[in-house]
Amino acid sequence: MKYTIDYLSKNENEENPYIWELGSLFSAYDENEIYNLLDLIEDSNGKDLMSYYRWRWILVNNLLKKILDKDYVNALLEISEFWLDLDSPFDMPYQYQGAENKLHPQEFYTEEHLSKVVSNHKKWLEDEKEKLK
């Protein structure tokens, strides 16, 4: 939220109403509402896409912090739900079990696989951060 508030304070003439709506969610927010707004921003012009990508980066970063206290099965399920909520973008650092890989559930839902998934997400965050500069 800090990014949006900072952005709007420097860009008072921002014309995209969805960015202003995101900024209005400064207090406790509903994640579903943020995902819906991100969908609207993603469908907007190119300038708005940069905002979408920044928000997506923030949400992935928060996701990795959020799953730290979960067991590996629930962490992987939460990661799956997260990417489904974002409509499975083509560049996501995740493959759903059975859909895009040949891992059986017994291989997919393991601590080892979660470690690999988290590592892939961290690498993705680094790569995305470079693109967003």
Helix-helix angle 2-10:46-66, to 10 degrees: 150
Q: Could you identify the residue written with the tokens 């997400």?
A: 121
Whether 62 contacts 73, CB under 8 Å:
no
> Is this structure's pTM higher than 0.95?
no
| Residuewise pLDDT in 10s, the chain (133 residues) | 455 555 555 555 655 555 555 655 554 456 666 666 666 666 666 566 777 888 888 899 999 999 999 999 999 999 999 999 888 888 899 998 887 678 889 999 999 999 999 999 999 999 998 888 7
pLDDT for position 15: 59
Contacts of 14 (CB under 8 A, 6+ apart): 7, 8, 20
